[in-house]
Structure 1
């Protein structure tokens, strides 16, 4: 009987789930982020709660469940973030759930600041480093 050796074989990395918080006005940027392949070393997926009516019945509980199941949260930050009650609630929820949170400026010409977390420029290196750290 042959025994198969598993030593020395690379282990498959756990697929990381990253919740994306964004203002509905920045949906195109969210689409770009979700469509971007950062690198193949770490498998990952982006999820979000794209809704036009953020306060439908049960919306907050659905968001909280998705954030709880995520390894971390990326907030696409822009001037629209300042008035997006849905995105701001998602960010607050991520903080309450103790999830790692990274802000990424959605546009190269917009450096809106949100308090309580680090915001970086949109680059493969910055986003991949965050995902690798999860």
Structure 2
């Protein structure tokens, strides 16, 4: 089975470490995904949204890594809206175990899943 191409949306200013951890997990032998693209730290002007739209469009699934300030991350909210508009499957993943993590704007009613290896593999394959 081919690995899923994963776009990772995250709060670049506060949660870059989470993306680093996810990339580390993607190196496991039994990983069902490749991180093909992720949020970028650019000003939210001009063709930024078109660039991200292309990146999300090339992905099979979108993972939104949620941290303590994700609700304030304008870029994450835009990326989620683009994923929804493109009809891309997505899921929200709780980035920190022992703190309250928030959902991005537009994802307030979406389920946030606990980040475990088994959950991640299930979510990548559509188990949500």
What is the CA distance between 1:113 and its match in structure 2?
4.2
Q: How does 1:15-54 map to 2 (within 5 A)?
A: 15-24=3-12, 25-37=14-26, 40=30, 42=32, 44-46=33-35, 47-51=37-41, 53-54=42-43
The CA distance in 2 between the partners of 1:113 and 1:95, in whole Å, is: 19
The CA distance in 2 between the partners of 1:84 and 1:95, in whole Å, is: 17
2:95 to 84, 95, 106: 106
Q: 1:79-121 deviations in whole A, cap 9, x for unaligned?
A: 2101100111111111111111111111112333431422111
The CA distance in 1 between the partners of 2:109 and 2:61, in whole Å, is: 15
Contact 2:25 2:31 in 1 (8 A): no
| Structure 2 partner of 1:89 | 78
Aligned partner of residue 79 in structure 1, secondary structure: coil
Aligned length: 120
Q: Over aligned residues, Cα RMSD in angstroms?
A: 1.9
TM-score of the superposed pair, with normalisation by structure 1: 0.80
The CA distance in 2 between the partners of 1:39 and 1:95, in whole Å, is: 31
Contact 1:81 1:87 in 2 (8 A): yes
Structure 1: which 4+ aligned runs deviate by more than 6 Å? none
Q: Gaps (5+ residues) in structure 1? A: 1-12
